[in-house]
Amino acid sequence: MKYIKKKFSIMILGLILAFLYSCAKPTVVNISLPEDKNLTCTQLEKALEDAQKFRKKALSHVGNTGKNQMRAVLFWPALYMTYANTHEAIVAATERSVLLINFMTDKRCLNTEKHINRIQTTMRVQTLKDLTESYNSLNDLYKSGGLTEDEFRIQKKKILGQ
C-alpha cells in the first residue's frame, strides 16, 4: 500500500511539473548554433531578424495580459513560470542578436551599423531594482529641472519599455 501511495504521489508531482512547463511561454532561442560562423551576410541578417522576432514575441508576454490574468486565476505557479521563462527568452534572443552582429562585423557585412543601432535601442531586461533605480534617477533629474515634461515622458517610456 505504501509503495502505491509513493508511486501515485510521484506521478501527480510529475503531472504538475509537466503542466507548469507547458504553461510557460514563450520559446527560448539557442544563443549560438554550430553553423553560425559559416552563414553569409544575408543569412546573418535573416537570423538577426528571427532573433529580434523571438525577442519581440517574448516581450509581448510581459505584464498584465489576458493570458497572464488567466494563469494567475487558474494556476498561479504557471504565471511565475511564464515570467521566469520570458526573462530567459528575452536575454537569450538579445545575446543571440549580439553574437550575430559580431559575426556580421567580422565579415564586414553591409548595413551592420544600421542593425547595431536598431539592436541598441531595444529595451533591455531589467530587474525590478534596476528599473526602480532608473526611474528614481530620471524622476530626480526631472524634479531638479534638468528635463522638460515632454523629455521626462519620453525617457520614462524608454525605461518602462513602452
Residues 6+ apart with CB under 8 A from 141: 147, 152
Cis peptide leading into 77, omega within 30 of 0? no
Predicted structure pTM score: 0.54
Question: Which of 33-37, 59-63, 130-134 has the highest average model confidence (pLDDT)?
Answer: 33-37
Give the model confidence (pLDDT) of 78-115 as tens digits.
666 767 777 778 888 888 888 888 888 888 998 888 88
What is the Cα 81 distance to its own chain's centre? Answer: 13
Contacts of 32 (CB under 8 A, 6+ apart): 96, 99
What SS3 string covers 91-143? HHHHHHHHHHHHHHHHCCCCCHHHHHHHHHCCCCCCCHHHHHHHHHHHHHHHH
Rounded to whole angstroms, how far apart are CA atoms 99 and 97?
5
The single-letter DSSP state of residue 35 is: T
Instruction: Read off the pLDDT band of 68 (50, 70, 90).
Output: low
pLDDT in tens, 105-161: 888 998 888 888 777 545 555 555 666 777 788 888 888 888 888 888 888 777 665
